């Protein structure tokens, strides 16, 4: 628990986009660390938000309606905060938290953090929102921290992407799965301009392309698999495991830059590594401090990519050795649980006295009747909660569980209601 005990954390998900799965991985990691974490399910609002575009109103009216809708979602987040009483609100990039809502949370003493898992040069909305968060985690180094300081955000930490070992792992695939998801050279991701042009130069390889936004390109149409639909997380792990070589080409909206130069390392790099899958990754300035050269194979030009594809396709032992070392490094240093622990430690360091103790907090086992203590101690282990967890936090964790209530959970919830009613 990094010295701050069990925390209540509200993870505010975006309505859609690439940071949505990252938010879910953060949620799982926080629970794995033993905290009581709950998600604000902004995706539930996406259908109604999207329907505004079908009204056929003028652009200025549509903008007004969209802004008004987002204000309502922000108010819903504040209402959730009042009910859940979190120690921290963690928002992912594109989370629907308005400046007014962030000001209100600050006024009410609720700490907030943003994990901005996007390129600050391409997505510049951070300038308007960053000053209102208590902590701002980023996947890039200078000049981003300096730019954040210029708009009033001093609590910045570098927090690179990661992967989830419970999801991204080696798999034993059936013959059918290998035919469905396998390729000699495999790519999984969206059809950015640089990727379209780059892959057109690799058609002499056994290239399989998985993911969406590849339509309208006749040269690649027969290489696009699964009908060009979006790929679920579980399927992506099968794709990674089924490939001989996973091609990890970072995206660029500049079609002239086939192999883009850049700093941040995409999540695919960590996911492939944790799967124990061999990858050829386009080089990045921040990559050497995350993985050594004998842990990941990399390329900087199309010529180097073609050369290394030919080389590694014929060397299964070297592929296996690199993949094994990459997985070892990822397990040791690049999981979401580690990232979340580092983030919480950063908030605790920057805000001495956080989190404030809960008034009237009582250890759960101490307030329970003797017949319930043994079973409850076992339940604490199932919930990854410590033996001295407060009764209120235990109840919050029980309410978050999925499925039918057990007799013990029913008894605990009944006891909680009794305590609320009669102050016992």
CATH of the domain at 326: 3.40.50.2000
| Most confident listed range (4-18, 233-247, 367-381) | 233-247
State pTM to two decimals: 0.86
Please indicate, yes or no, whether residues 152 and 191 belong to a single structural domain of this protein: no
User: How many distinct structural domains can be found in the chain?
Assistant: 3
| Rounded Cα–Cα distance for residues 280 and 346 (Å) | 33
For the stretch 19-55, pLDDT in tens is 999 999 999 999 999 999 999 999 999 999 999 999 9
Confidence band for 366, pLDDT divided at 50, 70 and 90: low
CB within 8 A of 417, min separation 6: which ones? none
The answer on pLDDT for 131 being more than 50 is yes
Here the tokens at position 247 are: 């091609």
Looking at the predicted structure, is the pLDDT value of residue 402 above 70? no
- Whether residue 301 sits in one domain with residue 340: no
Write down the pLDDT at residue 379: 74
Sign of CA dihedral 42, 45, 49, 51: positive
Residues 24 and 98 in one domain: yes
Q: How many Å is the Cα radius of gyration of the chain? A: 24
Cα–Cα distance for residue pair 343/351, rounded to 1 Å: 12
**Which residue, of 350, 377, 406, is where some domain finishes?**
350
What mean pLDDT do residues 332-354 have?
97
What's the mean per-residue pLDDT of the chain? Answer: 91
318 and 388 together in one domain = no
* Position 356 in a domain: no
State whether 298 and 373 are in the same domain: no
Grouping H, G, I as helix, E, B as strand and the rest as coil, residue 38 is: strand
pLDDT, mean of residues 134-151: 97
- pLDDT, tens digit (0-9, with 9 covering 90-100), for 183-193: 999 999 999 99
Whether residue 203 is found in the same domain as residue 324 = yes
**SS3 category, 300:** coil
Q: What does the alpha-carbon distance between residue 270 and residue 31 come to, in Å, rounded to a whole number?
A: 21
**Alpha-carbon span 334 to 162, nearest angstrom:** 5
Q: The tokens of 226 are what? A: 């699964």
Q: Rounded to 5 degrees, what are φ and ψ at 282? A: -65, 135
Residue 32's CATH number: 3.40.50.2300
The model's confidence at residue 1, banded by pLDDT at 50, 70 and 90, is very low
B/e letters for 194-206, b = 16+ CB within 10 Å, e = fewer, are bbbbbbeebeebe
Percent of the chain with pLDDT over 70: 89
Based on the domain organization, do 182 and 108 belong to the same domain? no
228-248 pLDDT, tens digit per residue, is 999 999 999 999 999 999 999
Question: Domain range holding 389?
Answer: 364-422
* 180 & 327 share domain: yes
- Is 79 found in the same domain as 16? yes
Provide the CB-side half-sphere exposure for 234 (13 A, CA).
Answer: 2
Q: Distance between CA 42 and CA 96 in Å, rounded?
A: 7
Q: How many CB atoms lie within 10 A of CB 370?
A: 6
Q: Do 29 and 52 touch, CB atoms closer than 8 A?
A: no
Spatial separation of the C-alpha atoms in residues 43 and 108, rounded to whole Å: 26
Residue 248's pLDDT is what? Answer: 97
In the sheet that holds 88-92, the strands lie side by side as: 36-40, 8-12, 88-92, 111-116, 135-138, 156-158
Residue 104: how many other CB atoms lie within 10 Å: 17
Domain membership flag for residue 387: yes
DSSP-H helix ranges across 136-204: 144-150, 175-181, 193-199
Q: What is the pLDDT of residues 78-104, one digit of tens each?
A: 999 999 999 999 999 999 999 999 999
* Overall residue count recorded for the chain in this entry: 424
- How many Cα atoms within 13 Å fall on the side-chain side of residue 155? 21
């Amino acid at each position: 628990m990094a010295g701050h005990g069990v925390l209540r954390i509200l993870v505010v998900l975006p309505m859609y986009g690439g940071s949505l799965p990252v938010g879910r991985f953060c949620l799982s990691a926080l629970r794995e660390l033993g905290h009581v974490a709950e998600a604000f399910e902004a995706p539930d609002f996406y259908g109604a938000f999207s329907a505004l575009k079908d009204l056929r109103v003028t652009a200025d009216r549509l903008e007004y309606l969209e802004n008004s809708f987002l204000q309502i979602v922000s108010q819903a987040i504040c209402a959730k905060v009042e009910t859940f009483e979190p120690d921290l609100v963690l928002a992912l990039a594109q989370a629907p938290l308005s400046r007014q809502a962030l000001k209100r949370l600050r006024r009410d003493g609720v700490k907030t953090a943003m994990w901005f898992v996007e390129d600050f040069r391409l997505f510049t909305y951070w300038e308007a929102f960053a000053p209102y968060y208590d902590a701002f985690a980023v996947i890039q180094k200078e000049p981003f921290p300096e730019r954040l300081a210029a708009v009033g955000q001093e609590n910045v930490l570098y927090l690179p992407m990661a992967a989830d070992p419970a999801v991204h792992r080696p798999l034993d695939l059936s013959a059918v799965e290998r035919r469905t998801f396998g390729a000699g050279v495999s790519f999984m991701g969206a059809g950015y301009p640089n990727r379209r042009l780059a892959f057109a130069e690799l058609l002499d390889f056994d290239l399989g392309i998985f993911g969406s936004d590849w339509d309208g390109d006749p040269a690649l149409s027969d290489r696009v698999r699964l009908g060009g639909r979006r790929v679920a997380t579980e399927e992506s792990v099968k794709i990674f495991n089924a490939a001989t070589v996973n091609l990890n080409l970072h995206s660029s909206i500049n079609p002239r830059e086939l192999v883009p130069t850049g700093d941040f390392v995409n999540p695919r790099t960590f996911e492939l590594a944790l799967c124990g899958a061999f990858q050829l990754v386009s080089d990045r300035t921040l990559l050497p401090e995350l993985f050594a050269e004998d842990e990941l194979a990399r390329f900087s030009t199309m010529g180097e990519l073609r050369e290394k594809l030919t080389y590694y396709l014929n060397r299964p032992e070297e592929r296996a050795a690199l993949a094994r070392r990459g997985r070892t490094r990822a397990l040791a240093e690049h999981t979401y649980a580690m990232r979340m622990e580092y983030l919480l430690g950063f908030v605790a360091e920057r805000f001495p006295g956080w989190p404030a103790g809960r008034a009237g907090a009582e250890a759960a086992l101490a307030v329970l009747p003797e017949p319930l203590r043994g079973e409850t101690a076992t339940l604490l282990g199932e919930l990854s909660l410590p033996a001295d967890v407060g009764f209120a936090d235990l109840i919050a964790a029980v309410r978050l569980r999925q499925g039918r209530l057990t007799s013990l959970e029913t008894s605990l919830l009944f006891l909680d209601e009794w305590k609320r009613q009669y102050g016992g």
